[in-house]
Amino acid sequence: MEKPKQLSYIDQLCLLKLRGITGINIQISGMNNSKSGIKKRKELDKNIHTIKSISYYELKRYAYPFYDENTNKYKGLDFSGLIARYYRDKKLRQEILHAIEDIEVALNTSIAYVLGEKTGAFGYLDFPKWCQVNSRNKFLKNTRMDQFVIEQERLKFLSNLQYKVKKSSMLDIKRYISNNTQIFPPVWLMVNVLTLGDSIHIIKLMSKRNRESVANNFNCSVKELISWFECLNLIRNICCHNGNLIDFELRTAPIVPERFKDNLFSIDDRFTKRIAIVIAIIITIMNSINSKYYFGRLRKSINKFVNKDDYEAVRYGFKDRQAMMDLFN
């Protein structure tokens, strides 16, 4: 079997051109010192620099929605449009991540308050004080929460927490550890080392009353809270790892915020799994945290992908373009 060879940057441009992407001039011959020749050379150099800094396969991800299986080519896409999609998605990821980070802080603050108020500064270390006990937990694959399962969860959590506290760069945690013999910080410091996935798991472990206390802070049900935050955790990971967000489709549909059902595309009561529902969830949660949060930059970012007609709006999960704009109002 012949080993794959590294393509030169100009060969990568050629491959995109052969696949139907327009606006790529690779005719080196004839690029003389005339004005048109110099212009062509500059354009080629610019395209080579672009594919050198972004990479062929990274750009290819943003071309897939234009792929035609019948012709094995991309249709209706030029190179400048492909580059624009890449940078527009980068801007969209930044705005989405900015909102999710604020939401994550609010969630951890709520967890710290609920656990701190009911069990004290270090009561979170004693899992039976705040966990669901002696019943099946529907949020953890219907696991029966007996003393063995709870102890297993406690040991796993504390082992993970010990490592995170030790590696934390947070000044307050460093000072606390250096001034105390206790290796675990109080709950209001502890939550600052959690990942969003850790925080969601804590909510799943909580007793029914504790879960409801957290959910009430976001004006939603427990089921909605977990569904929405699991969705945002996935989206957060895509944003942090430079994934293609605009073309991403969720495998499992989260609960649709009741307020925005008329803004989202649906067929037979099956709602979209595209970026529109993610934005609807972010707006819903953020309105319970900060009703004056500025969504202007996020609105502009998504609007860059949507033309004046409704086709693009539907592609990304909105009912139509006007419904998309109304989502932010």
What are residue 74's phi and psi, to 5 degrees? -90, 135
The distance of Cα 313 from the centroid of its chain, to the nearest Å, equals: 20
Within a 13 Å sphere around the CA of 106, how many CA atoms are in the beta-carbon half? 21
pLDDT tens sequence across 150-198:
999 999 999 999 999 999 999 999 999 999 988 999 999 999 999 999 9
CB 124 within 8 A of CB 190: yes
Taking 90 as the threshold, does the pLDDT of residue 272 lie above it? Answer: yes
What are residue 306's phi and psi, to 5 degrees? -110, 125
**pLDDT value, residue 198:** 97
User: Of 29-38, 159-168, 241-250, 254-263, which gets the smallest average pLDDT?
Assistant: 29-38
Return d(Cα 184, Cα 173) in angstroms, integer: 9
pLDDT tens sequence across 213-248:
999 999 999 999 999 999 999 999 999 999 999 999
Return d(Cα 194, Cα 160) in angstroms, integer: 10
Q: What is the pTM of this model?
A: 0.93
Contacts of 185 (CB under 8 A, 6+ apart): 165, 173, 176, 177
Taking 70 as the threshold, does the pLDDT of residue 31 lie above it? Answer: no
Split at pLDDT 50, 70, 90, the class of 281 is very high
Q: Rounded to whole angstroms, what are the CA distances from 23 to 14, 18, 47, 235?
A: 11, 12, 10, 33
Split at pLDDT 50, 70, 90, the class of 269 is confident
**pLDDT value, residue 41:** 84
Taking 90 as the threshold, does the pLDDT of residue 30 lie above it? Answer: no
Report, as an integer, the average pLDDT of 277-301.
96
Tokens linked to 151: 């102890």
> Kind of pairing, strands 73-74 and 67-68?
antiparallel
Return d(Cα 33, Cα 40) in angstroms, integer: 10
Taking 80 as the threshold, does the pLDDT of residue 37 lie above it? Answer: no
Taking 80 as the threshold, does the pLDDT of residue 279 lie above it? Answer: yes
Residue with tokens 């009703």: 291
Tokens linked to 21: 């992407």
Tokens linked to 290: 């900060």
Residue with tokens 């989260």: 254
Dihedral Cα 263, 269, 270, 271, nearest 10 deg: 10
Return d(Cα 298, Cα 96) in angstroms, integer: 7
**pLDDT value, residue 207:** 97
What are residue 295's phi and psi, to 5 degrees? -100, 10
Return d(Cα 176, Cα 150) in angstroms, integer: 28
pLDDT tens sequence across 59-105:
999 999 999 999 999 999 999 999 999 999 999 999 999 999 999 99
Tokens linked to 43: 């354009």
Report, as an integer, the average pLDDT of 124-145.
96
Return d(Cα 201, Cα 226) in angstroms, integer: 9
pLDDT tens sequence across 295-317:
999 999 999 999 778 999 999 99
Tokens linked to 47: 């395209």
Report, as an integer, the average pLDDT of 52-56.
91
